[in-house]
Structure 1
């Protein structure tokens, strides 16, 4: 019976040794996997630093561009105000020309009879002058 006991202890020792061996193999594989994960995380961390720097630079350029656009927009406001003022001035000039034209038309209509009468008197005066010159020339 002691032999069975020794044999059982020997089997337990061998089983424990096999267990430790496979456990060591598993831990080595886990260690290799963890090393790969750590390496991947370090690479990713370096890439994130580069990405962070590029993002910061892009944000800075965007801010500069936004400030430039705002400055140029303010510069254009003066031009738009000037164009608006020019449009208003042109509208005022058109209105003044329209008033003058209307005034001339009304004045012409009011004096049309007088002008026609003046033209008739002028024609009569020219006829008298021609007759007088014709009579003067025939008397010679």
Structure 2
């Protein structure tokens, strides 16, 4: 019975030894895998640091660009307001010119009859002057008429 006991112990020892060998191989394989994973994670950490740095720089540039756009937008707003002011001034000027033109047209229309009367009175005065001069100097007209007849012959 002792032999069976020794054989059982020996068999258990051999099984334990085989188990330890396979467990050792598995642990070494696991160690290699974990080392590879650790190296990969280190590389990823470095890359992530680079991406974080680039992202920070990009965010800073984006903020600077947003500020620049804001300043230019405010400047453009002042230009637009100035142009709007010029447009308002031109519109008022056009309205004033229109009012002046209408006023002048109205005054000319009102004065038309007066001007016509003045011209008629002027014509009448000229005719009176000519008749008066013709009565005053009738001989001179005869002489002028005779001269014209002599020249035509």
Same fold (TM over 0.5): yes
Q: What does residue 139 of structure 1 align with?
A: 142
SS of aligned partner of 1:111: helix
Take 2:88 and 2:134, find their aligned partners in 1: how far apart are those partners? 63
Structure of greater Rg: 2
Worse-superposed segment, 116-125 or 20-29: 116-125
Worse-superposed segment, 68-77 or 120-129: 120-129
- How large is the Cα RMSD of the aligned pairs? 2.3
Take 1:26 and 1:129, find their aligned partners in 2: how far apart are those partners? 144
* Structure 1 residues 101 and 21, CA gap change in structure 2 (3 angstroms): same
* Structure 1 residues 100 and 14, CA gap change in structure 2 (3 angstroms): same
Gap runs ≥5 in structure 1: none
Structure 2 residue 94 is the aligned partner of structure 1 residue 89: no
Per-residue CA shift, 1:60-98, capped at 9, x if unaligned? 111221222222222223222211111111111111101
Take 1:22 and 1:97, find their aligned partners in 2: how far apart are those partners? 107
Q: Which has the higher contact order (CA 8 A, sep 6+)?
A: 2
What's the TM-score, normalizing by structure 1? 0.85
Take 1:16 and 1:134, find their aligned partners in 2: how far apart are those partners? 165
Gap runs ≥5 in structure 2: 144-153
* Structure 1 residues 131 and 31, CA gap change in structure 2 (3 angstroms): farther
Aligned residues between the structures = 140
What's the TM-score, normalizing by structure 2? 0.79
* Structure 1 residues 21 and 131, CA gap change in structure 2 (3 angstroms): farther
Q: What does residue 26 of structure 1 align with?
A: 26
Q: What does residue 101 of structure 1 align with?
A: 101
